[in-house]
Amino acid sequence: MKNKKGFTLVELVIVIAVIAILAGVMIGTFASVVKKAKESAKAQEMAAAKQEQTANDVIEKLNNSNWLGWEDFEEKLAERLTKAYKEGSTTNVPVDALQDAVKGAMAAYYANAQLENTGLTEQQVKTIINDAFAKVSFTGVSAEQVKAIVNTAVSGTSTLTKSQVQAIVDAAQAKNLSLAQVTKAIADATKNFPTTENVEEINKANAKIVAAIETLDKKASTLTAKQVEEIMKAVTWQGGGDTTWFDAATYDSAKEYTLTKPEQVAGLATLVNGGYNFEGKIVTLVANNETENSLTLPEKENWTPIGNTRGSEFKGTISGGTDTTKPLVIKGLTLNEQFNAVKNGYLINCSSTGNMDKVGVGFVAYLGEGAKLSNIVFEDVNVNIKDTKMDGICFGVAVGYLDGGTIENVTIRKSSTEGATNKISTVYRTGGLVGAAANGTIKDVTISDLTVQSKGYAGLHENGKPYYEQAYCSAAALIGYARNFANGGTINLTIQNVTFNNVKVNAYSTSFAHEIIGQADERTINGKLYGGNADWDSGIASTGITCDADTSAVVK
């Protein structure tokens, strides 16, 4: 039987039918794929349009004259508070009535106002009002004082950035208070403040205001605690440095910088500690309180010293201006953190072994060759380190470690530098002006109303009782310790025209303590103390200083 070739008619019909069926299925599937692709593209287009609209909404807010930045809000709030105080009733208002007035005003205006919002959440406004009312005295408050109070509660930044606004939009997505709500509610709530100097009565009123706003917040806010935290971090200064004034692209050619806000000065520390030494450049600090010509650092923040390691020392000039008759007053410098970790420039090593990776604690940690600190008054400084277990920490109000720089026309007043009171494993070097020094110039310096202490105990006996051994501690009104840490070489210090008034120096009896320099290794100091005070090395006590220690242990 011969093999078949080709298809029979029936077979051909069957094949054609199968092909037709398969084609129908494939065409349907392809159409479905095309449809889904179109839908996906449309969805992506819609998502992109929504994202673009969100961005446009943010930009529109920024450009809207009815939407306020922080600076505008501060001014409006200050005006309203001041006006409320001036127009206050001359009679006392019962606390219960005040509470009801606050609740009623806040609730009514929150419910009814339909104006453009300020960008401030309920939680932020509560924080501002809480801080303002907790610190202000209700008698004789000026607009400037009120604004200063408000500044303690909000960022020093003049306006919110686009990214900050976006953070609020993303995190909050809830009702915000309007300008009318904020200002009108505050005016209504404060117009009948009790005009009394009774502190207890005022505190009660403050507590009621805060409680009322907290009640409102619980009713109206949909923010979680985490969202509030994220918003506050986005729009307030957390003590970190503001470096927006600095442009790395123009750093090499720049000669001068002017800083007007405390966070900008903190930003200088961030930059210097990050490797910019500002050599040959002048950084001028300008007052944020023109009346007192002062720049106030936040009291709650520990200061990160400028130039916190060898290799990242400051080599430029920090000046309080050119008018030597009107130096800049820096207030609120605080150094009281427990030094238990290597971070933020706080753990400092001034050991006598020559290891100077970390150099000192002060406004400027390390003032290197060619650097200068001039025309500045440090007032109300607090250096109080406790429970420290580090080797050889060097403290000074102005400079932690002076190595080739110049300190000129600097005053320290109404301040204290205090070493630890317990649990010290090794040593302290504490000076009123400088913690430790190797080389440099100190001239035209005044130190008054200052207490310098260096004390503690070294550890514990096996029986658990304190083991007192402080032979290596040193304290002085001017320089705590003089030694060239880098190579053990000659100390070269020039000290001219230094004045002391009501300065107290004390340490344990086995410590080194002196009026001018607490201790000097190898006594190879060049230079004299001029301007009415004796050469420190002669051992003659200087006027205006009380030294409370065993002077037999003092280097003479």
In a domain, 271, yes or no: no
**What are the backbone angles phi and psi of residue 151, rounded to the nearest 5°?**
-65, -25
Find the distance separating the first CA and the last CA of the chain, reported in whole Å. 132
CB atoms within 10 A of CB 458: 17
Instruction: Return the beta strands (E) in 239-371 as ranges.
Output: 256-259, 282-285, 294-296, 317-319, 328-331, 334-335, 364-367
Boundary of a domain, candidates 235, 260, 276: 235
| 364 and 432 inside one domain | yes
Token readout for 202 is: 């005022």
In a domain, 474, yes or no: yes
DSSP 461-530: -TTS-EE---TT-EEESSEEEE--TTTS--EEEEEEEEEEEEEEEEE-TTSEEESSBS-BGGG-EE--B-
In a domain, 524, yes or no: yes
| 150 and 178 inside one domain | yes
The dihedral of CA 295, 375, 407, 434: what is its sign?
negative
**Cα separations (Å) of 194 from 96, 116, 131, 330?**
12, 33, 19, 35
Q: What is the pLDDT of residue 79?
A: 54
Report angle CA 46, 52, 55 to the nearest 5 degrees: 145
In a domain, 300, yes or no: no
HEC secondary structure over 74-107: HHHHHHHHHHHHHCCCCCCCCHHHHHHHHHHHHH
| 9 and 96 inside one domain | no
C-alpha to C-alpha distance for 546 and 477, rounded to whole angstroms: 9
| 390 and 468 inside one domain | yes
The dihedral of CA 88, 91, 95, 101: what is its sign?
negative
In a domain, 25, yes or no: yes
| 436 and 542 inside one domain | yes
Helix (H, G, I), strand (E, B) or coil at 58: helix
Boundary of a domain, candidates 186, 220, 235: 235
| 33 and 166 inside one domain | no
Name residues whose C-beta falls within 8 Å of residue 111's C-beta, 6 or more positions apart in sequence: none
| 40 and 69 inside one domain | no
| 383 and 492 inside one domain | yes
In a domain, 149, yes or no: yes
Total number of domains constituting the chain: 3
Helix (H, G, I), strand (E, B) or coil at 158: coil
Which amino acid type is present at position 389? K
C-alpha to C-alpha distance for 424 and 481, rounded to whole angstroms: 18
Helix (H, G, I), strand (E, B) or coil at 134: helix
Token readout for 255 is: 């000669």
C-alpha to C-alpha distance for 190 and 77, rounded to whole angstroms: 12
pTM, entire model: 0.53
**Using an 8 Å Cβ cutoff, are 132 and 150 in contact?**
yes
Residue with tokens 């408050």: 141
| 28 and 116 inside one domain | no
Strand order in the sheet with 393-396: 393-396, 428-431, 474-476, 512-514
C-alpha to C-alpha distance for 78 and 84, rounded to whole angstroms: 10
C-alpha to C-alpha distance for 374 and 371, rounded to whole angstroms: 10
| 37 and 155 inside one domain | no
In a domain, 258, yes or no: no
In a domain, 302, yes or no: no
- Pick from 450, 361, 446, 371: which is nearest to 406 by CA? 371
Token readout for 320 is: 């309080």
C-alpha to C-alpha distance for 267 and 405, rounded to whole angstroms: 21
Residue numbers of the domain that contains 129: 64-235
CB atoms within 10 A of CB 532: 10
Residue 467 pairs in a beta bridge with 459
Q: What is the pLDDT of residue 530?
A: 39
| 153 and 10 inside one domain | no
**Using an 8 Å Cβ cutoff, are 158 and 71 in contact?**
yes
Tens-of-pLDDT digits for all 556 residues of the chain? Answer: 444 455 555 555 555 565 655 555 555 555 555 565 555 566 556 655 554 554 455 445 444 444 444 445 555 555 554 444 444 443 444 444 444 544 444 444 444 444 344 455 556 555 655 554 454 444 444 445 444 444 443 433 333 444 444 444 443 333 344 444 445 555 554 554 444 445 555 556 555 555 544 544 443 344 444 544 444 444 444 455 778 888 888 998 999 999 988 888 888 988 888 788 899 999 999 988 878 888 887 654 567 888 876 667 889 999 998 888 899 999 877 765 433 222 222 223 332 233 334 457 788 988 888 899 999 999 877 666 554 444 456 788 899 888 889 999 999 887 655 554 333 333 467 788 998 888 888 888 888 887 777 654 444 444 444 444 444 567 788 888 877 766 555 677 788 888 888 777 766 554 666 777 877 764 444 444 433 333 343 333 344 555 544 333 232 2
Report angle CA 210, 136, 100 to the nearest 5 degrees: 35
Report angle CA 414, 417, 419 to the nearest 5 degrees: 155
C-alpha to C-alpha distance for 143 and 30, rounded to whole angstroms: 73
| 9 and 88 inside one domain | no
What is the greatest pairwise CA distance in the chain? 138
